């Protein structure tokens, strides 16, 4: 199939801060890297591998869930606050996480009393942080997520169970059903390849460059993507 190359370009004036979200294995970090290179923005990654509690959490979820979530909460808060100048980012920013998703994970993994403690700490931070000017939510089925997790071969992720992924995906669906803090582009990432296929990626760039107002769905037909 013939591909087209997407060169570097300026980020749309209305989009200073892009946050990319979605469940484990959906491709957030890979897309964030591409968009940051295309729009010539600073890249901010959550760097989950830097959380010393994460491998322990996958081995013993009940014991290490709270420590894992608090480490993520403090780390992401520091990273976002360090880049904030008034209400604007300079330079423009692309991140592979949305700060509010921390609470989404906490709801899945924490016991009730731990979640109440987490909530008290979370509320102290969330109102001090900036809101993205565009959120991109990547969706894919659990079998697809499992294949991608297996392919990237991160050791401690290989034991992730389908029940956990199902709960996580359900939490994402509910969260973004009610989300209205920023323009939202919902991307069906099941059959498209935004990393290796230039045509697919170019279609996404066109959606972003048009400007997203409110909520928009990016789900091009199979024929449009050249997948038939």
pLDDT given at position 125:
85
Which residues form the catalytic set? 96
* Residue 92 within a domain: yes
* Residue 5 within a domain: no
Query: Degrees (nearest 5) of the Cα angle 140, 141, 146?
Result: 100
Residue with tokens 């700490």: 121
Give the C-alpha separation, 144 to 191, whole Å.
9
pLDDT given at position 1:
39
- Give the pLDDT mean for 131-153: 90
* Residue 9 within a domain: no
* Residue 8 within a domain: no
Number of domains in the chain: 1
Give me the domain span that covers residue 149: 17-223
Write the pLDDT tens digit of every residue in 39-55: 999 899 987 778 899 98
- Residue 35: which CATH number? 3.40.50.300
* Residue 212 within a domain: yes
Write the pLDDT tens digit of every residue in 213-225: 899 999 875 444 4
Contact in structure between 99 and 132 (CB atoms under 8 Å): no
pLDDT given at position 84:
67
Q: Which residues contact 206 (CB under 8 A, 6 or more apart)?
A: none
The overall average pLDDT reported for the chain is 85
- Give the pLDDT mean for 196-203: 89
* Residue 164 within a domain: yes
Q: Which residues contact 81 (CB under 8 A, 6 or more apart)?
A: 128, 129
Tell me the C-alpha to C-alpha distance, in Å, between residue 104 and each of 20, 21, 115, 168.
15, 12, 11, 8
Other CB atoms within 10 A of residue 41 CB: 22
Is it the case that residue 91 has pLDDT exceeding 70?
Answer: no
Write the pLDDT tens digit of every residue in 31-90: 999 999 999 998 999 877 788 999 898 889 899 999 999 999 998 888 888 776 544 555
Q: Which residues contact 155 (CB under 8 A, 6 or more apart)?
A: 55
Beta bridge mates, 185: 136, 216
Give the C-alpha separation, 88 to 104, whole Å.
26
Give the C-alpha separation, 103 to 50, whole Å.
19
* Residue 1 within a domain: no
* Residue 10 within a domain: no
Radius of gyration of the chain (CA): 18
Is it the case that residue 129 has pLDDT exceeding 80?
Answer: yes
Cβ contacts of 4-10, under 8 Å, gap ≥ 24 = 4/198, 4/199, 4/202, 5/198, 6/38, 6/198, 6/201, 6/202, 6/205, 7/38, 8/37, 8/38, 8/39, 8/40, 9/38, 9/39, 9/205, 9/209, 10/39, 10/40
């Amino acid at each position: 199939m013939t591909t087209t190359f997407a060169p570097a370009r300026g980020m749309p004036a209305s989009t200073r801060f892009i946050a990319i979200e979605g469940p484990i294995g959906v491709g957030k970090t890979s897309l964030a890297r591409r968009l940051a290179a295309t729009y010539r923005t600073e890249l901010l990654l959550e760097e989950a591998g830097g959380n010393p509690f994460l491998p322990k959490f996958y081995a013993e979820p009940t014991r290490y869930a709270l420590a894992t979530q608090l480490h993520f909460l403090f780390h992401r808060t520091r990273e976002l606050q360090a880049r904030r100048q008034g209400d604007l980012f300079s330079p423009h920013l692309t991140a592979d996480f949305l700060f509010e998703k921390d609470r989404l994970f906490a709801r899945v993994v924490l016991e009730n009393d731990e979640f109440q403690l987490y909530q008290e700490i979370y509320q102290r931070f969330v109102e001090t942080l900036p809101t993205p000017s565009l959120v991109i939510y990547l969706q894919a089925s659990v079998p697809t997520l499992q294949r991608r997790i297996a392919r990237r071969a991160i050791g401690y992720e290989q034991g992730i169970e389908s029940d956990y992924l199902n709960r996580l995906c359900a939490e994402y669906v509910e969260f973004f059903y009610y989300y209205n803090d920023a323009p939202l582009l919902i991307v069906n990432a099941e059959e498209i390849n935004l990393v290796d296929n230039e045509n697919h990626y170019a279609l996404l760039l066109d959606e972003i460059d048009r400007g997203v107002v409110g909520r928009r769905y990016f789900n091009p037909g199979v024929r449009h993507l050249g997948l038939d």
